[in-house]
Structure 1
Amino acid sequence: MRQLSKYTLPFFACSTLALTGCQQFSKPQLPPQAIQPTAPEETQTQNVAKDQFALQGKIGVRTPQQSGSAFFTWQQQQDKFDIELSGILGVGKTQITGHTGQVTLNSAKTGEIHADSPEELLERATGWHAPITHLIKWVQAKPATASAQLNKDEQQRITQIIEDDWNVDLSYAEHATLPNKLILKQALESGKENRITMVIQNR
């Protein structure tokens, strides 16, 4: 794996966000009875629903190389988003804005960086891939693809999503229908993992 630059953590946190590195990964396994494949028609219905939300909270990133945290605000309106990060290891405020086909990252340390998608932006800036588009669905307790494996609680809320090499654990406050905490884990060949913890304080 390539050495991470000093600006990598802000980009990881952005959208926050995740790391899909250059290695090959093995998917975590659940007992067969706990895994519920997502029906294609269910995912299709969920994906045509409006992606509209406003989040505030804190995100922490831990990799075998480094760790850190940041506060975030995230405005999502269909395919348009505006994410602001602050308190990232002294880097200062980082702004990520965009829509389908055009994404911009701006900070005092890096200036403006442009790309066609959030994933491409992270790859160009840090050399890493990240399931940012998936995260838009995950914070709404929805799978992003028809191939996702789901685990639900007694209230039929999704508590775990296994999708595209990521194991996402969702936690809820009492009888809330939307999660207030997500833990994203990605197993590495070395036996270690990339981990992102996202705490949503306000919706």
Structure 2
Amino acid sequence: MSASIIAYKPNKLALFSAMAAAMVITSGCQSLKTANATSQPMTTIQAQNAEQPKKLESFNITGKIGVTTAANDSTGAQGGSAFYAWGQQNDRFAIELIGALGIGKTNIEYNGQTATLVSEKTGTLTADDPETLLKKATGWQAPISQMPYWVSGRPAPSDSAPKLDSQNRLVSSVNGDWSASFTYKGDEKLPSKISAVQPQGNKVVMTINH
């Protein structure tokens, strides 16, 4: 199963207006500037000693997500992509996906306890967590629960082996069998791209417009 997105560019106002009916979106992320410095990774111990987030931040982001699924006995590796708009408020979020692997416009909502997915092809599906829900509907695997922390440039509470650079920016982290790396534009404090991979071959690449 695959899909390709070529010309569509989401209308931010329309996407967030649609999501507003599901949840209240609060203040967005702001890119913070720091002095120019050569990026040198710090040790894992230094990163683990950094203050861990006590709660999720609220943000509005848009971008594109690409997913590659691992090959199995019957098929080779497959991939797809979608444009997204993501609104986060503490542990609640709403995501709208455009071009999600042939199932049409897709909305994923999570209220902190239950995840709901609605698409033109699948109808309404529910699950206890967004990862299970996404895999059930599309076959994609993605570390959705960790992404809100990673988008904010911080390790998730369940991460291990986080590493920071000399500007105190998260450059890599591990969560279960997901290994994530982070890319920044210039001296910006928030990541512009997150790449996460699993040993069996699943991969997620997420570009971020804060």
1 CA distance for matches of 2:117 and 2:105? 11
| 2:79 maps to 1:73 | no
Contact 2:134 2:140 in 1 (8 A): yes
The gaps in structure 2 that reach 5 residues or longer are 3-41, 72-76
| Paired residues for 1:27-176 under 5 Å | 34-36=43-45, 38-39=48-49, 42-43=51-52, 46=53, 48-63=54-69, 64=71, 65-122=77-134, 124-125=136-137, 130-145=142-157, 148-176=160-188
**Aligned pairs, how many?**
166
Per the TM alignment, residue 102 of structure 1 is displaced from its structure 2 partner at its CA by 2.0
| Matched residue type, 1:198 | M
Contact 2:142 2:204 in 1 (8 A): no
The residue number in structure 1 matching 2:20 is none
2 CA distance for matches of 1:195 and 1:95? 21
The residue number in structure 1 matching 2:207 is 199
Corresponding residue SS for 1:132: coil
2 CA distance for matches of 1:105 and 1:146? 25
Corresponding residue SS for 2:202: strand
Per the TM alignment, residue 145 of structure 1 is displaced from its structure 2 partner at its CA by 2.5
Q: Relative to total residues, which structure has the larger strand share, 1 or 2?
A: 1
1 CA distance for matches of 2:101 and 2:168? 39
Larger Rg: 2
Per the TM alignment, residue 117 of structure 1 is displaced from its structure 2 partner at its CA by 2.2
1 CA distance for matches of 2:158 and 2:143? 15
2 CA distance for matches of 1:73 and 1:129? 18
Per the TM alignment, residue 107 of structure 1 is displaced from its structure 2 partner at its CA by 0.4
Contact 1:186 1:194 in 2 (8 A): yes
After TM superposition, which residue ranges in structure 1, 4 or more long, deviate above 4 angstroms?
123-130
| Matched residue type, 1:157 | R
Aligned alpha-carbon RMSD (Å): 2.6
The residue number in structure 1 matching 2:6 is none
The gaps in structure 1 that reach 5 residues or longer are 1-5, 8-32
CA deviations over 1:128-153 (Å, ceiling 9, x no partner):
76532112211112111255112222
1 CA distance for matches of 2:123 and 2:135? 16
| Matched residue type, 1:187 | P
Per the TM alignment, residue 114 of structure 1 is displaced from its structure 2 partner at its CA by 1.3
